[in-house]
């Protein structure tokens, strides 16, 4: 274990033998850090935070801070679960859960660029990229492989589907379905065609996803009608997952199509 002499590590913190802690970092009593994880200088990890193996936590990152919730009580026992292989760059903030025994959950192999904020009780999947200064409100869900561009903002309780892309400086108060490109304010501008190919979707899957997209956004039907029509045929897993996501968007609704975009 390599701990800089200026770092402060709580006596009850549990650190694997090969963890590295940089200068002036602060690690709280309830923190657990797994093998081969690097915590760089001036980072703060406090509260009930469990960090898995092979993570990199950048300079000045703050993980485990109290949620920005006016009803939150400092005595609430809540925390953060972080998987393995994540890159958390400088000045990233990740807040712990707001309700008793609740957690903010970070999966595996994600990349949080400098200045990103993950609010309380968010659930981030695997292989997600969250670019600089992107802001996630409380209870936001981001599914595997999504890319959230720099300066984006996501309202609390919104969901981002698998392999969706949010263009930089966009804002979302509605759910962004899987496989789409979102831009502007609550708008979809097309499909993430390149991302589907890179993710290994075969031509039949890609064709069905395009058909599902056209049914939802290009048929002239409203969402309920499109879902009803979708139920009249069988879909392969990705296209069915697209419709399942849309059907579950009862709280916020889904982003609409920018009508100038062809489908």
Q: Which two tokens stand for residue 25?
A: 């970092």
For residues 53-59, give the mean pLDDT.
Answer: 98
User: pTM for the full model?
Assistant: 0.97
Q: Which pLDDT tens digit goes with each residue over 103-154? A: 999 999 999 999 999 999 999 999 999 999 999 999 999 999 999 999 999 9
Residue 148 near residue 134 (C-beta atoms within 8 A): yes
Position 1 scores a pLDDT of 80
Which H helix or E strand runs over 160? Answer: strand 159-160
Residue 123 near residue 147 (C-beta atoms within 8 A): no
Domains and CATH numbers, the chain: 2-139 (2.160.10.10), 196-257 (1.20.1180.10)
Q: How confident is the model at residue 260 (pLDDT cuts 50, 70, 90)?
A: low
Position 262 scores a pLDDT of 60
For residues 220-229, give the mean pLDDT.
Answer: 98
CA distance 33 to 15: 5
CA distance 37 to 27: 13
Position 263 scores a pLDDT of 61
Compute CA distances 87 → 12, 56, 112, 159, 240, whole Å.
25, 5, 6, 22, 32
Q: Which residues pair with 50 in a beta bridge?
A: 32, 81
Position 261 scores a pLDDT of 56
């Amino acid at each position: 274990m390599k701990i800089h002499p200026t770092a402060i590590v709580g006596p009850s913190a549990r650190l694997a033998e090969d963890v590295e802690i940089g200068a002036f970092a602060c690690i709280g009593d309830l923190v657990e850090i797994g093998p081969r994880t690097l915590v760089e200088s001036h980072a703060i990890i406090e509260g009930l935070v469990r960090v898995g193996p092979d993570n990199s936590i950048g300079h000045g990152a703050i993980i485990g801070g109290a949620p920005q919730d006016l009803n939150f009580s400092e005595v609430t026992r809540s925390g953060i679960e972080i998987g393995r292989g994540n890159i958390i760059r400088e000045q990233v903030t990740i807040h712990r859960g707001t309700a008793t025994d609740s957690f903010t959950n970070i999966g595996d192999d994600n990349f949080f660029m400098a200045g990103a904020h993950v609010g309380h009780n968010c659930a981030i999947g695997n292989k997600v990229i969250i670019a600089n200064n992107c802001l996630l409100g409380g209870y936001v869900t981001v599914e595997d492989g999504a890319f959230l561009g720099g300066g984006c903002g996501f309202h609390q309780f919104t969901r981002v589907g698998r392999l969706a892309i949010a263009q930089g400086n966009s804002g979302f108060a509605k759910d962004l379905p899987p496989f789409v490109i979102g831009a502007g304010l609550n708008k979809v501008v097309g499909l993430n065609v390149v991302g589907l190919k890179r993710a290994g979707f075969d031509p039949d899957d890609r064709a069905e996803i395009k058909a599902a997209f056209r049914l939802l956004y290009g048929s002239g039907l409203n969402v309920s009608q499109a879902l009803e029509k979708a139920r009249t045929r069988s879909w392969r897993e990705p296209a069915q997952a697209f419709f399942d996501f849309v059907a579950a968007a009862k709280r916020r609704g889904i982003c609409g199509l920018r009508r100038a975009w062809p489908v």
